[in-house]
């Protein structure tokens, strides 16, 4: 009873609480790469900052770079005395990195005098119809703001030997796999977690037994999936990943047929889902092609079919590159160049594809 009473008091407090009025946004910003960055090549980062309803004074902009990234053109510190309302600042930075970077951020810190008077005026006009005590509370909040506001703007950077990205990538195929008798390497999504085949098999067995038990009662299963769709989807993704991990270990052990059997089983499971994760589907098919590399015709069929099946996926360039590796082996230069060019349309900073295309220039 004590817990119930405390819960009631807490709920009553929440119901009585009225959130304060929102301070109108007095600035907007954008921080974007002009083109997809590429390792060891100059790339441009554009910054745009604009005011909404308030002129701003004493703006000091500071550029902070991750280790390994150098500034070729632009300023580490920019000082601007004043900008009028509805005005805009534009800054461009020419950058370069000679080392791989995975998810570190380029940061801009902006110090600016807080336009308290203009914010208060805007709030008074915007919230003229609200209760006076609410407006007064909000204006007091504005009055308590720091004299100088520090604004932080960040842009993640992903630069690999294989490629670069304009946005945070959904999946990264970062490991290169050299196959005997192939002059160019294959690229696949690899597993970093150290776990044994035995442990993975135990996970898969436990998952399958639980899934069978859950599905035995069709009505209860449907109710569970309807009531907890996100939890169910996350559970499936976590367990499906174990199948891929196991197959990847089998590939590393040279057990290609066993690996392909697990991947085929996983493909069947994924294709039964209502909301198919096509990125993961391509990850699976890409590894399947490597399992069947001794039969080039079959490997080509797997990759080509997967690209058509998941036409909306943003990671098709990996499979297109691997198709080019096979076409290089069979000396089909037309198909090789076709798929490399297609891969570069999807990701212009696909360094590995550029290197391979340059290698066959003139042929």
**Higher per-residue pLDDT: 225 or 117:** 117
Q: What pLDDT digit, counting tens, does each position of 56-77 carry?
A: 999 999 999 999 999 999 999 9
Buried/exposed 189-223: b ≥16 CB within 10 Å, e otherwise: bebeeeeeeeebeebbeebeeeeeeeeeeeeeeee
DSSP one-letter string for 114-167:
--HHHHHHHHHHHTTTS-HHHHHHHHHHHHTS-SEEEEEEEEEEEE-SS-B-SS
- Tell me the domains of the chain and their CATH numbers: 17-159 (2.60.40.10), 175-359 (1.25.40.10)
Contact 318, 289 (CB under 8 A): no
Contact 54, 118 (CB under 8 A): yes
pLDDT at 215: 87
pLDDT at 19: 56
Interatomic CA distance for residues 262 and 244, integer angstroms: 8
pLDDT at 363: 60
pTM of the model: 0.81
Helix or strand (DSSP H, E) at 280: helix 278-291
Q: Which two tokens stand for residue 222?
A: 């449907």
Q: What pLDDT digit, counting tens, does each position of 73-109 carry?
A: 999 999 999 999 989 999 999 999 999 999 999 999 9
First to last CA, the chain: 83
Q: What pLDDT digit, counting tens, does each position of 127-164 carry?
A: 988 888 889 998 999 999 999 999 999 999 999 999 99
Interatomic CA distance for residues 232 and 219, integer angstroms: 15
pLDDT average, residue stretch 305-330: 95
Instruction: Tell me if residue 18 falls in helix, strand or coil.
Output: coil
With a cut of 60, say whether residue 4 has pLDDT above it.
Answer: no
Interatomic CA distance for residues 298 and 39, integer angstroms: 34
pLDDT at 275: 83
What percent of the chain shows pLDDT beyond 70? 94
Partnered with residue 78 across adjacent β-strands are 61
pLDDT average, residue stretch 6-11: 39
């Amino acid at each position: 009873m004590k817990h119930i009473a405390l819960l009631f008091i807490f709920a009553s407090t929440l119901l009585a609480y009225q959130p304060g009025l929102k301070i109108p946004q007095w600035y907007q910003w954008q921080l974007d790469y002009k083109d997809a960055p590429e390792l060891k090549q100059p790339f441009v980062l554009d910054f745009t900052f604009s005011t909404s309803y308030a002129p701003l004074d004493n703006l000091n902009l500071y550029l902070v770079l991750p280790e390994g990234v150098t500034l070729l053109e632009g300023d580490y510190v920019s000082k601007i005395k004043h900008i009028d309302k509805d005005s805009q600042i534009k800054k461009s930075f020419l950058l370069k990195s000679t080392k791989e970077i995975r998810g570190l951020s380029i940061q801009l810190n902006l110090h600016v005098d807080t336009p308290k008077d203009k914010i208060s005026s805007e709030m008074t006009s915007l919230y003229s119809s609200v209760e006076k005590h609410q407006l007064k509370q909000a204006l007091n909040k504005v009055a308590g703001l720091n004299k100088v506001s520090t604004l932080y703007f960040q842009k993640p950077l992903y630069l690999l030997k294989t490629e670069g990205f304009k946005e945070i990538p959904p999946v990264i195929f970062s490991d290169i796999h050299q196959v005997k008798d192939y002059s160019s390497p294959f690229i696949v999504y690899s597993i970093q977690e150290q776990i044994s085949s035995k442990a993975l098999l135990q996970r898969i067995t436990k998952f399958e037994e639980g899934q069978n038990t859950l599905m035995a009662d069709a009505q209860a299963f449907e109710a569970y999936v309807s009531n907890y769709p996100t939890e169910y989807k996350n559970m499936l993704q976590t367990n499906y990943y174990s199948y891929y991990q196991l197959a990847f270990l089998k590939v590393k052990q040279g057990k290609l047929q066993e690996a392909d059997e697990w991947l085929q089983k996983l493909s069947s499971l994924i294709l039964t889902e209502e909301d198919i994760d096509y990125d993961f589907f391509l990850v699976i098919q890409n590894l399947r092609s490597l399992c069947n590399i001794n039969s080039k015709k079959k490997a080509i069929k797997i990759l080509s079919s997967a690209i058509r099946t998941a036409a909306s996926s943003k990671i098709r360039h990996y499979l297109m590159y691997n198709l080019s590796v096979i076409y290089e082996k069979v000396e089909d230069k037309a198909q090789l160049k076709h798929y490399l060019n297609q891969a570069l349309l999807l990701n212009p900073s696909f360094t590995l594809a550029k290197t391979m295309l340059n290698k066959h220039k003139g042929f």
